[in-house]
Amino acid sequence: MLQKDAINSLKFDGLKTNLLVNNETGKIILISLEKGAVLAKHVSETDASITIIEGEITFEINGEKYTMQQGDVFDFKKNEVHELVGIVNAKVLLCK
């Protein structure tokens, strides 16, 4: 299924998500984080990766913090505690 302009489907307004793909091979979720918005600490039930497609975030995982910006990718294993915080308005693709 074609989704035109999917990256711009979410505006910056706190924390927003949009499920772009959900099939037998996995999920792709677009996350929009307004500056200061937080995706609170949680774990994933599967291995996953995040790709920053716009803006800048702080990604905390297992007690370590990383500053990530457009083009950066971080892959991680299931059950690792992590959190995202928007440093500036940011959009992130979560693949799992």
User: pLDDT tens, 53-95?
Assistant: 999 999 999 999 999 999 999 999 999 999 999 999 999 999 9
The boundaries of the domain holding residue 76 are: 31-95
- Predicted confidence at residue 49, as pLDDT, reads 98
Q: What is the mean pLDDT of residues 23-51?
A: 97
Burial of residue 50 (number of CB atoms within 10 Å: 0-12, 13-18, 19+) = buried
Amino acid 4 reads K
Domain total for the chain? 1
Let me know: does 7 contact 30? Beta carbons within 8 Å.
yes
d(CA 21, CA 41): 23
Contact between 93 and 53 (Cβ < 8 Å) = yes
φ and ψ of 14, to 5 deg: 70, -130
Contact yes or no for 35/86 (Cβ under 8 A): yes
Identify whether 43 is part of a domain.
yes
> Rounded to two decimals, what is the model's pTM?
0.94
How crowded is residue 92: how many other Cβ atoms within 10 Å of its Cβ? 24
Whether 26 maps to a domain, the answer reads: no
In-domain check, residue 16: no
In a domain, 18, yes or no: no
The CATH number of the domain holding residue 45 is 2.60.120.10
Do the domain assignments include residue 73?
Answer: yes
